[in-house]
Copies of this chain bind each other. A is one copy, B any other.
Amino acid sequence: MPRVEDLETPIVTVDLDIMAANIRKMQAYCDAHGLRFRPHIKTHKTPEIGRLQLEAGAQGITCQKLGEAEVFADAGFDDIFIPYNLIGPAKLARLTALARRCRVSVAVDSAPVAQGISEAAAAAGLEVPLLIECDTGAGRTGVQTPAQALVLAQEIDRIPGVRFAGLMTFPTNLETTPPFLAEAVALLGAAGLEAETVSGGGTPQTWRVHEIPQITEHRAGTYVFNDSNTLAAGTATLDECAMRVLMTVVSRPTAERAILDGGSKTLSADRLLWRDATYGTVVEYPEAVIYGYSEEHANVDVSACVRKPVVGERVTVIPNHCCTVANLHNELLGVRGGEVELTWRVRARGLVR
């Protein structure tokens, strides 16, 4: 088996022991608090990793796109939640085809989207469970108020081919999420509608989601690998970072600057959520700052490093955002004790629809 130090760079490795520990820890947390766990596979897009998550006790998976769900259904996954507004005849045909071969639930945030699914599912003789997406602070998709959630739930309850199955939000936060969910669940209950599932998501606040009593299910993706974002959020330690991008110093043009052999096409251009404009953590040089990138170069300020890396030296980078990194690469290498044990193909990448 090849050793990590012999691999050509840049290359994305996953420490198998760290990943296994991450999977165990999250499942144990959810189990301890009576939360169902539904990992988000957008992070790895790799059925073999999803299988490990199910074997650890996850109840099903979350896919962000139909393309991901189709790949995972092909691989035998049979309980899939798609927290995304699916619109248009092509997507609805794919949704009903998927619903014929596995349990699939979908989130919606408006009546037109629910009605589209209703018509397609009813015509196919199916009943698709729908969760209502609630914007509990993120400012992205989702109904804006508990009253809007109630109106949409009543509409879903009224039309054929769909079933009101609960609420979802992303990301769960501890400030504005609890009052929204409490009011929505109360309004629904008063109207005779049960939110059978209340699904929250996101890795950064993971370890406190049990403090929100309405939440019945947790979704998380990043936790499986961790990254510089979860490091910065304090959700994970360096020892819990399984995704490590091996890179080589290809230039030392000045005393302060080192250039690594990968940029936005290797590490993605995602900024750190909690600190501006840095692009990854260099494990061997904690004082180094990746301050810029282009497509195939990362610019590193090494002025604060006592010892400075030389041309040809290899370093290990914890990327800002592991989900967008996996999406850029054809393969992930599983390593254990410095040896390459396996290669996974990132099967659901490149499928943006």
| A contacts, CB < 8 Å to B | 8-11, 42, 64-65, 84-85, 87-88, 90-91, 109-110, 112-113, 116, 135, 139-144, 248, 250-254, 257, 259, 261-262, 264-266, 268-271, 294-297, 299, 311-312, 323-324, 327-330, 349-353
Contact = CB atoms under 8 A, between A and B. Distances in A.
A299 B135 CA distance: 13
Contact of A253 (B142, B250, B265): B142
Nearest to A68: B296
B270 A269 contact: yes
Contacts of A324: 264-265, 269, 295
B84 A250 contact: yes
Chain A interface main SS type: loop
Nearest to A7: B90
Nearest to A331: B350
Contacts of A42: 295-296
A10 B269 contact: no
Given A87-B250, A88-B312, 16 more contacts: A42-B295, A85-B311, A87-B311, A87-B312, A109-B253, A112-B312, A113-B250, A140-B297, A144-B254, A264-B269, A264-B324, A269-B269, A295-B324, A328-B328, A328-B352, A329-B352
B350 A251 contact: no
Contacts of A265: 324, 327, 352
Contact of A88 (B112, B248, B253, B328): B248
Contacts of A116: 312
B143 A253 contact: yes
Given A324-B265, A324-B269, A84 B296 contact: yes
Nearest to A245: B352
B299 A139 contact: yes
A294 B252 CA distance: 34
A348 to B, nearest CB: 11
B262 A299 contact: no
Contacts of A10: 352-353
Given A10-B353, A113-B311, A312-B88, A264 B270 contact: yes
Contacts of A113: 250-251, 311
Nearest to A221: B295
Given A250-B113, A266-B352, A311-B110, A327 B330 contact: no
Q: Which 6 A-B pairs have the closest CB atoms?
A: A330-B350, A8-B90, A85-B250, A269-B269, A141-B251, A64-B296
